[in-house]
Each structure stands twice: as structure tokens, then as C-alpha cells.
Structure 1
């Protein structure tokens, strides 16, 4: 395979054969994005995607290879899962034009370009930034302690702090970081690339986030409302610029990748949590990390959702525990894990939500009572409106299981 050729895989599909150089095989193996097997033919290898989707460029020189891994669910459904958060509900259906896109990367790029075009239509957003400076005249307020420590008895220059009206604000930094990240992704359409370069020119005076640095933090407000859809997508793009190995290492990639089980867990925790609040009130805690298996806060439990309701004393306590499983069939270790959650949280019912398979319930006798481990199924290939409806139905089912 030459450097310009493209390995295209799809999540969940069986092995396929590709001509590769030994250097390309080494790069693919180090990336841990695919499983690799040799064949009986020299220079031909069998590849299978692991648990990530996206598009990346690996290696240099003779080891350089482009790799695309498409999701097994429709791309517009994946975009819906990726963008799910309470503050983003308004833009998902209106701004994302992904239904006709066969690959994830064009869908992300088209959606981001469209949202950024709207955000920058009236020009970049300005804001105030607190700036420390040394000036010959007073501007803003004097930093008296710095003035005395650095220039005791000297009247000028002055150590001052003032609010500067500038485009170099977190919202624009986040946009520019996502623009530059997309410009580095392989296989982007020339028209999209040209439009992204135009957006970058509009933000020429903005500081771009350093690669690997945390995304700039911003707060939604009336003033930056026109930026909200673009900023939500920008955060997703920067999140997809790295992934974590099982041993905890975080690796930056030249492209965008998303680990599907993490996408599913995030979606289910947020979407089902919102539905539970609508159905029964209380407080939903996605990715709750406030409970431990052992004393002295050892061995943190990691359920994908814990729902709290106030008791007779007014103090909130856990009443529902949920764990998302991005797989079709259940495994015994899933049951052991949920049983530990139920025992530790004092609950008689635990809920495992799979992306496929058959629903059911496993009844576990324990001293003095029975713990029920429920298996639910959520079909991610459903149209968005029906998927939202199924999440609401699941919330109703969980509420009915309450004592």
C-alpha cells in the first residue's frame, strides 16, 4: 500500500485484507486502533477495527497510513449521541446536516462549518479580558503591592490592571483550536478546508490553544448565544483529538477518533438522567464518583448514572443505579459489577442498559431479601425522535421499579 492509499474499516465488521508495508503495520499496531493478523501472502494483512471510530493519519515516511473507521450506527445518530447535553438540545436537529454523510469526518466538518459560519456572520465576538501591564500612564487600577516591590520610590512606569476589549477570549480560542484541528485531519474536502482557512483568517488576532492543553473554558450567556452551536461542536472536535489507552496513557492523534463505549455512556447518563428528572424529580448524577466499595474511600465505584430522591428526613439518597453497556450480549462480570453497586448503595434493583441483545432480569438471593438485576436494551439505530421516546419509556420503566 502506498502512502496515499486509504484503509477503510467499519466498527463491528469482520476481518478484511489490506496490502501494507512492515512500517505501516508497526504504526497500526502501536496505535491500538485495530487488530492485525498476518496472512499467508507476503505484504497482506488482515485488519479489524476495535472500539473506536474516526479518521486519523499515522506515521511518517514509508510508515505513513491513513485510517478511517466508520460507526456501525448511522452517522446522524452518532452525531446525536456525541452532541447530547442539556444545553445543546436546541441545536441538534436544526444545525446538524449529517443524514446524507456516509463517513463521520465529513459529517463533523459540515456541521461545524455550518455552525461556525453562522457564529461569525456578524464578525468575531468581542469581550473583556483582565490584563496586567506596565504603562507610563495610569489605566484601570494601580497594583500598589507590585509597584512598591518592583519600583519603590519611582513614580513611573506604573504596574496596572485594566479590562481590555478584545477578540482574544475563550470562545474564540475554542473555535480557532477546533478549526486548526480539523485542518490537520486527513481527507477533508477542499471546499471545507478552504472555508475553514477563511474562518481562521477572521480569528487571526486570537491565541490558539496549545496542542494537548485543556479546552478553553467558557460560560453560556446572552452575549455569546450565537456561538453556542459552534462551541459545542468545537469541544467535541478537540475531545476527539486524543484518546486514552487502557493503561491510562493519553495519546494525541493526527485526526479525530471517538471511543464508542464512552460516547454511549455519556449519552445514556445525560439523556436518561434528564428523563428521570422530568418523570420523578430529584437529582441525576451521570458518572457519579461519590461512592466507594471499601472503607477509607478505597476502590471508587463508577456507575454511569445514579439518581437521587429526598427521603422523609429531606436528605437525598440514591434510588436508581444504571450502567451502560455498549455491547449486544451480557457477561457475568456485568452482573457482578451491578450487584456490587446495589449492595453498596442499598438498592434492591439495578439496571444494565445494553446497545443490543435481549432484555431480562436476574434475581439474586441475599440474606433477608432479593436483588433484581435488570437488563434493558436501547436500539441506537432508531431515528432520533424515536430514540428520545425510547429513553423516556426506559425512564418510566425505572421509576415503576422504585419501592
Structure 2
């Protein structure tokens, strides 16, 4: 391990949730120290030069200039990240259903794909029409426009005015929402190493800058609110916020660059995809989907508490990834686990059966596709002496990809529908 900083753009690949030996890489002490402080690095052994990344895939920049490219585990063969992002609503489905579909699979550069996706999203936005808003303006005009600012006009003390201090509303695209998209695009272009992708981003940046100014700092989140008219911005805003949140931390009120990284939490993404699939299946039925996996974070996520203290207050809140309400009452529970295993983890079974006993209905644990080796059905008995099965727990594997996005969505939805109809026959 080198003790001095080095100037390099070496790309080091490793897999999520897997301890990786980096002793043959020329990383510096500063690199390991930065990784040790990183929220998404689960363990760093400076002595043995080993690193383990949490359930995230993406790109981590290091002080030396090297990059860690964090890939999905090899066991997740056929995983299509963009399909999952589209199903969770993080990118537009148009990007994965059009002829110019962007591909991404294990082994490809994450940061380059993000650059392609972001450039395509901006292009789509400009093609459909960028959002504009009326904003108040005050400036000197050659004729009275809007309202005349009498105080300012008199203060100029001109005997024969050749211009007028006007206040009026102007329709403009130079608003915080568009400035956020532009600011993130510029920062992303600085990180993309592939010239073709960088050029594509730069072209979209130039098109944006014709009508939007680049702010010195990104707009505050309170300035950026999506409305019904701006729902088409949702994928871009999500990407922009992640790009900027990962790249910067707030230090005494100033944006200070610490470590360049862009990571996607695969566990959260899997939960959002499963939630979306369940919502598709029950759409139009009497069941209302709720749960912690809601991509919009708008659904109720609480089914109550596991325990109560002596004063009767609930403790150990229970928040499954997905549950269904029927006339306001939770009747079905599911959790999504981004794991590979020969059999369902004991902790997963304990967790979901505790939810199940709270609700009194059937349940499902969803895992990523593993060749069907995990899929089974358990009966839940009242106690160890009672063998009568009064409700069931199903283990279901969700497809990781497909030849096309439509194929992936169709097969994934069918797997979910089959499990739900087995437990809720009226669907």
C-alpha cells in the first residue's frame, strides 16, 4: 500500500456484498481512510487491504484518482439494472422500450450507463417540451411594460425619460427545476471517462444552456416541487438528486466535494420493483397496496407493533415492504429480500412470520431469481404442538431480466400474480 497520493484513473472492479482483496492494487492510505468513512462500505481492513461494499452497485471515486466499479454479484446472471430502474419509476420506460434501448448488464461500466441514461432523459425532456413558468421581472424597458416602478423612475431624475423601470411577469424556462437538471448534468459530465458518452452529455448541456442558466450551487430541494404538469421530470429529478447527494456533503453551509460516487441501493431497488409489480396485479381490485417499498414513499408503511411496554405504548414497529388492505384492514403481507441462498434465511422467516401473525393472513417472501431453487410453500401452525396449517408462507423468485423489457415485465408480473391468486383467489 502506497503512503503517498498518486494521480491515476485506474478502474478497480469488485462485487457488492463480497469481501474483495485489494492488496494487488496500488491504493493509498488516503484511499482506505476515505473508504473507511464511506456510509456504503460495510467493512474495510486497512491491515489486510480488504474491502466489502454493502448492497449497492455503482461507482466510487477515491482521493488518488482511482475508481471502484461495484458490480452485481456474478450469481445474479442476467440482471438488467435498467429494467429494474424503469419498473421502479427511476428512469422512463421509454428508454428501455424504444429501438435505441440502452443496455446494461454485469461487467459494463456503471458511470457510463448513468451518463447515457441522463443524456437520453434530457433529450426526451427537450423533445417533449421543457417546463416554463411566469416569474416576476424588474428591468428598464424602452416602453412601459406591466407596471411602472414610480419610485425608481423618479429616483433617476431624468427630465426626458428614454427608458422605463417596469415590473412584469415573464414566461421563462430558467427556473430552479431546470437549473437542478442542468447542474447535475454538468457534474456528471465531469466524471464520465468515456469520450462518446461525455460528448453526448455535453450536447444536451449546450441545448439546455440556451434557455437555462447554470447556478453556482444547486437549487435547494424546497425550490424544486413536482406538480401534475411536471411529472415527466420525475426520473430526471431522482437521478439529479442522487448524483448531487452522493457527490457533495454540507460542510458549515458550503458544498464541499469529498468523494465522488454514485451508488444505487440494490436492496431498496428490489423492494420498489416488487411493490410496483404487486400494485400492478391488484390494480382495480378491492385491495389497496401499502408498505415501506412504495417508490413514491407515499403509502402507509406500518401495521402496528410487535410488543407493548408496561405503560401500554407500542414498541418494535412493524413495517413490511408490501401489504394489502381490504376495507382498511391489512390482510396480506410480503417482504422483498435481495439475497442469494440455498434456502430462505432463518431471520427472514422469523421476520415475515411475525408480520403474518400480526395480520392473521398469508404472506410471501420475494427473492431474486435463482433457478427456482428457493421456491416453496410453508404452512404456519399455531404452535409447536399444532400441525394444522391455518395460513401459508410462499417463497417466490422474481425474474432478473429478459430479452426485452416487455418480456421481463410480463414474466415478473405473472410470477407475482400466480402467488397472489394462490392466496387471494378472488383476484
Q: Same fold (TM over 0.5)?
A: yes
Maintained 8 Å contact 1:323/1:352: yes
Q: Tell me which residue corresponds to 1:248.
A: none
State the Cα distance separating 1:53 from its structure 2 match: 0.9
Distance 1:81 1:33 in 2: 23
- Distance (Å, rounded) in 1 between the aligned partners of 2:219 and 2:350: 37
Task: State the match for 2:59 in structure 1.
Answer: 55
| TM-aligned CA distance change 1:92 to 1:271, over 3 Å | farther
Gap runs ≥5 in structure 2: 157-165, 247-256, 293-299
- CA distance in 2 between counterparts of 1:29 and 1:394 reads 39
**What secondary structure is seen at the aligned counterpart in 2 of 1:326?**
coil
Q: Is the 8 A contact 2:58 2:111 kept in 1?
A: yes
Q: Alpha carbons of 1:156 and 1:398: their partners in 2 closer, same or farther (altered >3 Å)?
A: farther
Partner residue, 1:292: 304
The equivalent residue for 2:253 is none
Per the TM alignment, residue 69 of structure 1 is displaced from its structure 2 partner at its CA by 0.8
Unaligned residue ranges in structure 1 (runs of 5+): 244-250, 311-315
Q: How many residues align?
A: 368
Are positions 1:339 and 2:356 aligned together? Answer: no
- TM-score by length of structure 2 reads 0.71
1:171 Cα deviation (Å)? 4.5
Q: 2:419 aligns with which of 392, 397, 403?
A: 397
Q: Deviations over 1:324-379 (max 9, x none)?
A: 000023222222221232233x2321211112451223333237973422222223
- Distance, in Å, in 2 between the alignment partners of 1:53 and 1:358 is 24
Structure-2 residue corresponding to 1:71: 72
Shift in Å, 1:252: 7.8
Alpha-carbon distance, 1:258 to partner: 0.8
Q: Which secondary structure does the structure 2 equivalent of 1:120 belong to?
A: helix
Partner of 2:380: 364
1:142-201 CA distance string (max 9 Å, x none): 9xxxx9xxx9xxx999xx98543011235423421330231242x431232233233333
Q: Note the aligned Cα RMSD (angstroms).
A: 4.1
1:181 aligns with 2:190: no
Residue of structure 1 aligned with 2:205, choices 190, 200, 210: 200
- 1:252-401 mapped onto 2 (5 Å cutoff): 253-277=259-283, 280-287=285-292, 288-293=300-305, 299-310=316-327, 316-329=328-341, 330-344=344-358, 346-355=359-368, 356=370, 357-366=373-382, 370-383=390-403, 384-388=405-409, 389-401=411-423
CA separation in 1, counterparts of 2:361 and 2:392? Answer: 6
Residue 68 of structure 1: SS of its match in structure 2? strand
Q: Would the alpha carbon gap of residues 207 and 15 (structure 1) be closer, same or farther in structure 2, given more than 3 Å must change?
A: closer
Residues 265-313 of structure 1 show CA distances to partners (whole Å, capped at 9, x for unaligned) of: 11111222212226x4532224242432156565432211122334xxx
1:33 aligns with 2:28: no
Match of 2:49 in 1: 45
